[in-house]
Chain A
Amino acid sequence: MEQGPPPVNSMSVGVYVHLPFCRTHCTYCAFAISTDLSAQDRYTEALVREIAAGEDARGHTESIYFGGGTPSRTSIANLARVVSALGERFEIDRDAEFSMEANPEDITPESLAAWRALGVNRLSIGVQSFHDIELMPLGRIHGAKQARESVALAVSSGVRTNLDLILGLPGQTAASFGETLDTAVSLGAGHLSLYMLDLEEKSPLHVQVTRKRVTLPEDDLVSDLYVGAIAPLAAAGLHQYEISNFARRGEECRHNLRYWTRGEYHGFGLGAHSLVGDRRFANTRDIHRYIELAPDASDFSETLGVDEMRRESLFLGLRQTSGMLYRDFKEVSGQEGAAWIERGLRGGWLRRTDDRVALTPEGFLVSNELISQLF
């Protein structure tokens, strides 16, 4: 069993910045977003206020993540103001990973150059599918052709490139999904996030599905496609390292690894979450309130007790293909752990080596069920 990517540096912190602006609201999305681009200057001011207000000493930072929303919708000038505010507050490592999410329609040689100049060295592109017919019900603006061109542009510019792909889209078949994966590989992306569609209640697509206007592929098909994708991706050099994430060795997303290893991170902007010490907190998801209240825009905070930390370690640890050290697992799984491992091995949901336990692909598929048994 592989040991997984290098451990997250516990002496440093991660930084997340939420840039909520989108051209349209995608039908499956439940994130805090806004389609009112006219608010972006005021929003950026609030963001800069919040970043500057931090009291802690200049934390050493090895990962920055600009998420959204669609950060590629935010103007270069505003992005620059945010980057400069971050530079004032944090000691950013020369080799820090700096990811930014972008939509295909925003990627041009000019925008790529501008983002790179700001320090962005990893682009996460919301491709979702390379088939127009599957993109349509999602409310995406780009088509498959544009997606291919944008990815090619990004890859050739030299930034590390991730493609977000969705499995389980309305109308998706084994053949169309296979083609999407092949396209992604052949375009040379070093990282894939392959998400099984998980509809948030009340998202427009969910409503369509419950009203039977749109049908989703059966769970069994989605499961087969998921399991079936793992070996060919590995053969193409993209190794699975988490339930939904595949990368060339060394190109794993350090920022996301930080979430899964409970490393410290600071979130700024609308609905952004932070973990500092034993405290998790988050900002409001209401953009008007955020603009008005930042830097005091927090509307959620919890101090983690032993039990919460135990549960977090379990479900975050077991998301990764490297799983957990057996001795850590034993410590957090309690009395039921041994019988659980026994059942899991028998059912084919679990793998075990001398010092680690990890879920198999079939185990990942039913991981909610399995892991909640240990809660």
Chain B
Amino acid sequence: MPDPKLIRNFAIIAHIDHGKTTLSDRLLQKTGAVEGREMHEQMLDDMDLERERGITIKARAVNLNYRGNDGNDYSFNLIDTPGHVDFSYEVSRSLAACEGAILVVDATQGVEAQTLANGYLAINNNLDILTVINKVDLPSAEPERVREQIENVIGLDAHDAVLASAKAGIGIDEILERIVTKIPSPKGDPDAPLRALLFDSWYDPYRGVMCLLRIVDGKLKRGDKVKFISTGREYEVSEMGIFTPKPKAIDTLGVGEVGFFSANIRDIVQAKIGDTVTTAKAEPVPLPGFQEVKPMVFAGIFPINTEDYENLRDAVGKLKLNDASFSYEPESSAALGFGYRCGFLGLLHMEIIQERLEREFNLELLTTAPGARYRVNMTNGETIEIESPHKLPDLASISSIEEPFFEVTILTNDEFVGPILALAIDRRGTQKKLEYVSSNRVMIVYEMPLNEVILDFFDKLKSISRGYASLDYQFIGYRQSELVKMDVLVNGEPLDALSLIVHKDKAFGRGKLLVEKMKEFIPRQMFEVALQAMIGNRVIARETVKALRKNVLAKCYGGDITRKRKLLEKQKEGKKRMKRVGKVEIPQEAFLAVLKID
């Protein structure tokens, strides 16, 4: 059990692609946690998907041994954090387990939206911050300008920032030494009853729920009976260890240490992140926990082959075991059959879940347009929350509807400010702040309904800024809006999966674009197909897919009959993948049209 004075607990925080993971890998390598030959890039990301997308999804903690210039052997706990805004709650809970943070800023990019968001998180958690300006070896690096930005925008003293290149191995020794001098050691009472912060948990099919925790007071031994304060449930610790990064069994964890345990816990709900773990008989004051994360973005997920529903049910159940922030409930659609209405933290989370479902469980899925959770105030005084447009009650019984608003922070170069403001206004945004953070760098803050943010706002932002804009957003509350439900009908049959809640002023435009787009995707059929967008009983837009006139193999000579037969067979096969609404065959792309209507 190391002396708490020799322990340093820290996280690395950064905007995506600023080099957080590369720096983690480098620290692991330099401290000997990973032999050169075992080293593969992005050591800490253990899901395939994380490695492919270059995004860290789950937080992990690694114990590193470092001999300081003072001759002491230090025990570092590096707590990895995700870099994407959808997972900022994971950043804050990782930070709660630390005394310090390394803020990595790309010397070629400067301060970006998540540099800011994560920097503030660290400051608010009272962490000591070691600033690292990374990628200084690149020709376009401007460390001095970046230093100035860090001071102006985040308000951190950056005069002692380490100039480094994780990739080239520059500045790594200095960073290690500065962790010792800059980051405080943990304070805690070794003789007090156990108090440990549970800051991550996941489900392991062999061991049950695994808990990752940071000891604040007291100690934890294998075989101890522990209690989760929020539930009062008790478990016997069966396995305990630290990640080095390989799991290594250990008998005792003392003040300031970070490690994992399993205790035959079958249900992840029992190991609530942010809970305080103590021993069976103790009644200590609980540690400050975290706000529970709630899904913000909702979408229907349906199997393309309806017979895959059972497999989808298994898959979402299994995924939920490892991801408490993901929610699901059964939903049925006349057009798409049985599926689930799923809740996500954000759009990236949604994409990741869909990809994991498809990849790990071999499913082909159709995801409907994402929407927010709306709050509906009824005339009878009741308030209900709906996550699916078709659950919106009858208009006559609604007195008002509220929708979630977000504060959206964008950092960009000044040349893009014009178009970005135009986009924000188009998305019903209200400007809160616009200021220069350095000579050509501008910070823009808007309040905007989530409903508008999730409809390809990121893609739009990216394209109008040619990639030179970063963004962070935070929930600020519910506000009343003039919202209506728009339905789409195909030859008079409602396509429930395409119903959408939109602002009244935008319904006409969106309805028109939607049916126009769908018309492109629905092939001509043997009869005319009418596409209508409606609000209530009112048709607001209409398009017609004319009846098929011509689909013929005019040339059929030269004796190659096989090819012609196969062509017709392929045509038949193609039909099988389409969804039928009434008599109309609708390809999957038409359902996605709703996602692409700007």
Contacts and interface: CB of A to CB of B under 8 A. Distances in A.
Given A219-B549, A219-B550, A311 B569 contact: yes
Given A368-B571, A371-B568, A372-B572, A273 B561 contact: yes
Contacts of A244: 554-556
B562 interface: yes
Interface stretch (A34-42, A146-154, A230-238, A274-282): A274-282
Contacts of B564: 315
Nearest to A319: B556
Contacts of A243: 552-554, 556
Interface in B526-583: 526, 546, 548-562, 564-565, 567-569, 571-572, 575
Contact of B561 (A220, A223, A272, A316): A316
A130 interface: no
Main secondary structure on B side of the interface with A = loop
Interface stretch (A110-118, A169-177, A259-267): A259-267
A367 interface: yes
Interface residues of B, number: 25
B526 A369 contact: yes
A369 B565 contact: no
Contacts of A222: 550
A210 interface: no
A16 B559 CA distance: 8
B565 A312 contact: yes
Interface string A169-201: 000000000000000000000000001111000
B563 to A, nearest CB: 9
A347 interface: yes
Contacts of B572: 372-373, 375
B552 A368 contact: yes
Interface in B407-429: none
Nearest to A308: B565
Contact of A369 (B546, B551, B558, B560): B551
A196 B550 contact: yes
B559 A369 contact: no
Contacts of B556: 243-244, 259-260, 316, 319
A365 B565 contact: no
B571 A273 contact: no
Q: Taking each of B550, B567, B572, which has the highest tally of chain A beta carbons within 10 Å of its own beta carbon?
A: B550
Contacts of B561: 259, 273, 275, 280, 312, 316
A77 interface: no
Interface string A354-375: 0000000000111111011101
Interface in A319-375: 319, 347, 364-369, 371-373, 375
Interface string A277-295: 0001010000000000000
A31 B565 contact: no
Contacts of A369: 526, 548, 551, 571
B553 A198 contact: yes
A63 B551 CA distance: 31
Given A222-B550, A365-B549, 19 more contacts: A195-B555, A196-B550, A198-B554, A220-B546, A223-B549, A243-B556, A244-B556, A259-B557, A259-B561, A273-B560, A311-B569, A315-B564, A316-B556, A366-B548, A366-B550, A368-B567, A368-B568, A372-B572, A375-B572
- List the 5 closest pairs (A to B, CB-CB), nearest first: A273-B559, A196-B554, A223-B549, A372-B571, A368-B551
Interface of A: 16, 31, 67, 195-198, 219-220, 222-223, 243-244, 256, 259-260, 265, 267, 272-275, 280, 282, 300, 302, 308, 311-312, 315-316, 319, 347, 364-369, 371-373, 375
